[in-house]
A and B are shown apart, each in its own frame.
Chain A
Amino acid sequence: MSDLYQMQRTMRNLRRAALQRGVIGILDIGTSKIACLVLTFDGSGVSREADGVGPMAGQANFRVIGSATTRARGMRGGEIEVMAETERAVRTVVAAAQKMAGVRVDHVIACLSGGRPASYGLAGEITLASGKVTEQDVASVLAACDAPDFGRDREVLHAQPVNFAVDHRSGLGDPRDHSGNRLACDMHVLTVDADVIGNLAHCIRRCDLELAGIASAAYTSGRASLVEDEQELGAACVDLGGGGTSVSIFVKKHMIFADSVPIGGNLITQDISHGLRLPWATAERLKTLNGGVEATGRDDRDLIEVGGQTGDWEADRRTVSRADVIGVMRPRVEEVLESVREILDAAGFEHMPSQQIVLTGGGSQIPGLDGLAARILGPQVRHGRPLRIDGLPHQMTDPSFSSAIGLALFAAHPQDEWWDFEMPVSSYPARSLKRAYRWFRNNW
């Protein structure tokens, strides 16, 4: 895991350099759309009470100066399928955002929604030699976590220490300088396919950009759409995207679990296209304009002209009722929600102190979804819109941009990860030097 350690540290240094230069790009490469935000960090820390955006608990030190979104190309299920096509889409969106911002973007932070994320809870424990927790001890306990075999070609995307315990006192956020004999920690590790990350990095490098950080889309959309209390008390964020549905569970302001269902909005469109024998574009339009999950009696009479270009009059003058569309969509949405239910059950969500579920992402805009979700997932379901951030245009405040906005928050305030701590001393070659120093101090 040391090469990963090095790569993540390199990205961390790049991000720090970008923050110092004051401009960083946010790239959310999704299956149905690609969004790019250009953030400027003025470093003043003074919040501008503009447009109803309050101080936001210290998150106001950045501002969006450029934003663009475009249709994704060459993507499937949150992964890159055709590299050249994706590269073109990234070039389009980055050029547009740069043009709006008027500055050049060199460093981008990207998020990854595919790659079969798998989350692991690791635990580690050490005995404290000095009776007090030092920085070195924190690093040692993180290194002492026994990592299972992640499998071949898996890469660690997040490794966040979630909880520290000194002797019998658990739930410590920062154990440094606590007295005790034993230090234990819990760490949440999220792994994804290494090839997917490699493809993403390669694609971004081909656009002359430096990858300054990478985050899981489940994590970032949770950070954007869960309010602070929900993150503290425990909540699940369900991001209904185009290529997949990702689930993340937060408690005590840490993500403790993430998973994804490979069923998303594109599959619903495909169902409509197959079931009603429509072209893809028409099916997509039908879904967004007339979709729903609760059919009423009026929907049978609501006939929609679907049109066509075949030249066959009968086929081109065809109409479908809204009830037909709902009849196609509902089983698929139910299937998605059932899968989410299974994931939550597997994660032990019912043991959480608070069982709030927040639906976000483009798919959460289906009318009547909250009723259906309440029936399948549990009573505490709400729609989540992303946090308002300074300078964001209005059309980018809807739920489908929550992972991009969460990525901006992640860029401004990253959580501690395992690689932010120094390596344990035992792996240092400079240990003999330190011993010599100690000998000198004791004897002179």
Chain B
Amino acid sequence: MASVTEPHRRAPQRRDPAPSRLAYRLHRMWLRPLWRRLVRLGLPAFLLAMVVGLWLSDEHRRAALNEGIAGLVDKVQSRDEFMVRMMTIEGASPAVDKALRAMLPVDLPASSFDIDLTALRLQVMALDAVETVELRIRPGGILSAQVTERVPALLWRHTRGIDILDAGGHRVASVTSRDMRGDLPLIAGQGADLAAPEAMELIDAAGPILPRLRGLVRRGERRWDIVLDRGQRIMLPEEGGLLAFQRLLARYREDDLLGRDVAAVDLRDPSQIVIRLGIDAQNTIRAARGLPLLAADGSLLPDDQQPGGDKAKDRG
């Protein structure tokens, strides 16, 4: 049996489902996009700005706020976990060690927020003696610096003094005289530091004549002269200097070319080797040919100093 009974319990006063005129108008106003944006964003923003502005309009409150923020930041930064108590430096000579400690901008113990590791590293890298440095703050409040120093490899004599260079040609330190570092080979000439790797190769290749090597001279910022004792000089070409030098050493090892009285070996032209003889050798040849002898500066000796000058006179 079907039933069409009404729900039994019915509220005596049924609420009117129609919105009141005010609610209807407000709802329609709320549906305007501009109005909605104004109420949702503009009003809160305005209220917030007004409250903050009113509060900040007082001088004392502003100062108190600044102080409070600064104090809070300070409190966090100076917590025990962030404090750096000591500095360890590894791989540095005493002079570098001292300089590094002097460079640290703050006195230890200090907060790690006050130590700008990047800036400090750049500052340390500005030291010539330091090749690389690794700075880090280790747990336990240790500022650790791992320093790799430059290895002195060359002495460079130039117009302003003598510098120690590493194998790459970078300045390490200055010395006042050659004798302070007698163990290092010497190079000279303008622009020699830029070609330091080449100089190192040449010195390594000089094996048998190393004891006689006095140094290398950079000529015209483009090629090397090898200077031996007794004023001997090997002039290398601009390109392939090492190869030419090795070839010279190999070719003349037996006949001891460089042990003879040779003033200079000119390798600049790859097609030929030009040898300039010393004065004694020239004089020996000249004597054998019956020519007048030469003085040390290349001019002819006066007759009274000529050995066997009477003999020549006899012949004439």
Contact = CB atoms under 8 A, between A and B. Distances in A.
Interface of A: 70, 88-89, 91-92, 94-95, 98-99, 102-104, 207-208, 279, 281-282, 285-286, 289-290, 302-307, 309, 319
Contact of A98 (B5, B17, B23, B28): B28
A283 to B, nearest CB: 9
Given A88-B16, A290-B2, A306-B5, 4 more contacts: A95-B24, A98-B31, A207-B24, A303-B2
B1 A88 contact: no
A104 B32 contact: yes
Contacts of A88: 16, 18
A319 B2 CA distance: 10
Contact of A305 (B3, B18, B24): B3
Contacts of A282: 4, 6
A304 B1 contact: yes
Interface string B23-36: 11101100110000
Interface band, chain B: 10 to 19
A91 B2 contact: no
Please name the 9 residue pairs, one residue from A and one from B, whose CB atoms are nearest each other, closest first: A307-B5, A88-B18, A104-B31, A305-B3, A92-B18, A91-B24, A285-B4, A304-B2, A95-B19
5 contacts: A208-B24, A304-B2, A304-B4, A305-B2, A307-B4
B18 A91 contact: yes
Contacts of A319: 1
Given A95-B19, A95-B24, A309-B6, A103 B31 contact: yes
Interface of B: 1-6, 8, 16-19, 21, 23-25, 27-28, 31-32
Nearest to B19: A95
A70 B17 CA distance: 10
B26 to A, nearest CB: 10
Most chain B beta carbons < 10 A, residue from A89, A91, A309: A91
A305 B6 CA distance: 11
A339 to B, nearest CB: 29
Q: Label chain B's interface by main secondary structure.
A: loop
Given A89-B18, A91-B18, A305 B4 contact: yes
A285 B2 CA distance: 12
Contacts of B1: 303-305, 319
A225 to B, nearest CB: 30
Given A104-B31, A208-B28, A286 B19 contact: no
A94 B21 CA distance: 12
A282 B3 CA distance: 10
Nearest to B35: A104
Contacts of A207: 24
A142 B18 CA distance: 45
A70 B18 CA distance: 10
A210 to B, nearest CB: 13
Contacts of A99: 27
Contacts of A303: 1-2
B229 to A, nearest CB: 98
A305 B5 contact: yes
A89 B16 CA distance: 10
B4 A102 contact: no
Most chain A beta carbons < 10 A, residue from B3, B18, B32: B18
Contacts of A307: 3-6
Nearest to A88: B18
A104 B28 contact: yes
A279 B6 CA distance: 10
A153 to B, nearest CB: 30
A207 B24 CA distance: 8
B231 to A, nearest CB: 98
Contacts of B5: 305-307
B31 to A, nearest CB: 4
Given A98-B28, A98-B31, A91 B19 contact: yes
A91 B21 CA distance: 8
A319 B31 CA distance: 51
A272 B40 CA distance: 54
A281 B6 contact: yes
A38 to B, nearest CB: 11
Contacts of B25: 208
Contacts of A95: 19, 23-24, 27-28
B2 A289 contact: yes
Nearest to B29: A104
